[in-house]
Amino acid sequence: MKILLPALSPTMETGNLVKWLVKEGDNVVSGDILAEIETDKATMELESPDDGKVEKILVKEGTENISVNTEIALLKVDGEEIEEISEKPSEISSQVSSNGSDTATTEVKISMNSLLNQTKENLEAKNWSEKEITMREALNQAIEEEMNLDKDVFLLGEEVAEYDGAYKVTQGLLDKFGSKRVLDTPISEHGFTGLAIGAAMAGLKPICEFMTFNFSMQAIDQIVNSAAKSLYMSGGEINVPIVFRGPNGAAARVGAQHSQCFISWFSHIPGLIVIAPSNARDAKGLLKSSIRNPNPVVFLEHELLYKEKTNVPEENDFLIPIGKGNLIKEGKDVTIIGFSMSVQRILNALPSIEKLGISPDIIDLRSIKPLDEELIHKSVKKTNRVVIVEDGFGSTSFGSHLSYLIQSNCFDFLDSEIIKVSGKDVPMPYAENLEKLALPTTDEIVSAVKKVSYIN
């Protein structure tokens, strides 16, 4: 029996084979988990369609961009003969990887890793032992390390335990820490968020996962009125050390109800710390700092960044301070500011910008609240021009507030208007072509840089 890569989501056209959970020669029964497949929306499990023996594995784990219905393995079922394979498994894997590769995505991966390796930041003076891993793995490492270091840290949310998390961020944690510290909750955000906040008030340190931050709206009263305001309302008596984390923003054709960016929403609320990392390295260092922080932290990840790889320190004491941005590329002609997924969009546009003879400062904010205003102002006073890129709706957005801060503090240094490239003020379309147009495009970023530089 041929095992084909199935369409595990309605819009899936290709997938990545993350991991084989069986090897050649293993006997399996119908329903056994054969592999983990990363779709355009999540990491999902591939089940065996029948009883039998795994005869051949045709596509090696780690292979990306495999087309739906590609043969990935052969299962020998009793009474059936195995068909002869015309190509070797290694050849099939090679063809899948090359045929489905996305040049632009590969360039972004390399650019981000090389830029982070160059900056290394003053705060990271140690000679770290590093490994290239995905953001998904980096977040998992951060949670595991902090749970090992502090018995008061625990994790709760929908499908975080038995299913290893909807996006496999919490994979393996139930086996390591047990059901008292890794809790599957009912589908009731208002309920389990209140439970987590109460636990934090009692001295524990919950990590509360929302399957998507769109669902956090079911618990917004708890987040704003119970978590954010309790320290103030109690006169400094009640701390709420809690991390709200999960994917934020538009993924890939998940519809308007699942595609909103909440960075502007949460940064509006006094008492909340807001973090939005763009890469695996920052995700690990900032999540560990967030778990150790005595205040409520909203940690906004991006689903499409879960599979992106960068070099990440493996040490338990690797932390990135909250409130520090990162100048990931130094230039002299224009300051381009981004956070979360918009940093990747800026890097996609970078080759076209440099072809114009323009050398940009690129700032990754990372920490939205508190904000590294010193880093921003220093760059603007050098370059005299600013472009802000964000995925959120343009109306009353965080970029609008950022523009105000810059013109208030750097007005005399500006040689051009500040230009903001943001998501369009429309509910996110489902159609792929319209979805791309609703988000900041490479052409829009390049055009903004040309405009502030007075290039026709």
| Cα–Cα nearest to 299, from 238, 222, 231, 216 | 216
Tokens for 56?
């051949």
Alpha-carbon span 283 to 268, nearest angstrom: 22
| Catalytic residue selected from 146, 258, 303, 390 | 258
Alpha-carbon span 348 to 432, nearest angstrom: 19
- Active site annotation includes 258: yes
| Catalytic residue selected from 146, 189, 209, 308 | 189
| Cα–Cα nearest to 281, from 302, 312, 309 | 312
- List the catalytic residues: 189, 258
